[in-house]
Amino acid sequence: MTRASLDKQPHEVASMFDDVAEKYDLTNDVLSLGQARLWRKEVAKAVDARPAQKVLDLAAGTATSSQPFVRAGAYVVPCDFSLGMLRVGKKRHPWMPFTAGDGTKLPFKDDTFDAVTISFGLRNIQDTDQALRELYRVTKPGGRVVICEFSHPTWAPFRTVYTEYLMRALPPVARAVSSNPDAYVYLAESIRAWPTQPELADRLKGAGWQKVAWRNLTGGVVALHRGIK
């Protein structure tokens, strides 16, 4: 079983997700205490996919995160570099154009997508800035990005309780439900080390995105960042 470390070596990250692929979605629902569904609804509203628009869902994994855009009538391309996750996704959604690709060198031409989005994936990519530049490159001028990622609760007392949950409660629960509990130690560590909401907004601006803004969900457990090309 593989567990990535905070240097996020791509081969370790990919094989860690290969290992959890089969039970990934179930584990998500349990560990997020049901909040994952609510967060996905908010992502769908922010992306606001329209019929026939082209949407890239980067780090799509099993393409659970892609389904709201499919339901909106968009042409959705789920892209991920874990073949294990893609395989589970393809079994569930055989008609979708699953694409193997690395977020730091995307296999798409410039100015291809009306919207690009990434849910719980950016934190796992070794070179965040390069991924933000690649997302920018493949977006059409005027197109939009929506990033859904774990972040930092803004109210200090809640932040303390949440950090305790991450470091103490999450690993034993993960041991009960996940095929690779160590992957959830990495999850906790990588969330703690992730930039704050304003820091991530600055990184988006640095990659060229304009009108950058964010919204906190569940008190900042998750943040939705958006921008326009």
Ligand X SMILES: C[S@@+](CC[C@H](N)C(=O)[O-])C[C@H]1O[C@@H](n2cnc3c(N)ncnc32)[C@H](O)[C@@H]1O
Spatial separation of the C-alpha atoms in residues 29 and 46, rounded to whole Å: 21
Who contacts 121 (Cβ-Cβ below 8 Å, separation ≥6)? Answer: 58, 59, 60, 61, 80, 103, 149
Instruction: Provide the mask over 121-140, with x wherever binding to ligand X is found by CB under 6 A and - wherever it is not.
Output: x--xx---------------
Q: Return the closest-CA partner of residue 76 out of 101, 51, 104.
A: 51
Asked if residue 64 binds ligand X (CB under 6 A), the reply is yes
Would residue 99 be called left, alpha or beta, if left means φ above 0 and alpha means ψ between -120 and 50 degrees?
A: beta
Among 19, 80, 114, 149, binds ligand X (CB under 6 A): 80
Q: Which amino acid, residue 147?
A: I
Among 69, 120, 162, 186, binds ligand X (CB under 6 A): 120
Smallest distance, Å, CB 50 to ligand X? 21
Q: Of all residues in the chain, what percent are helix, strand and coil, respectively (each to 5)?
A: 50, 20, 30
Q: Of 31 and 204, which CB lies nearer to ligand X in the complex structure?
A: 31
Spatial separation of the C-alpha atoms in residues 57 and 118, rounded to whole Å: 6
Name residues contacting ligand X, limited to 8-47 (CB under 6 A): 10, 13-14, 17
| 62 marked ligand binding residue | yes
Segment contacting ligand X by CB under 6 A, of 118-126, 137-145, 158-166, 190-198: 118-126
Which residues line the annotated binding site for S-adenosyl-L-methionine? 62, 80, 102-103, 119
Contacting residues toward ligand X, per CB under 6 A:
10, 13-14, 17, 59-61, 64-65, 80-82, 85, 102-104, 119-121, 124-125
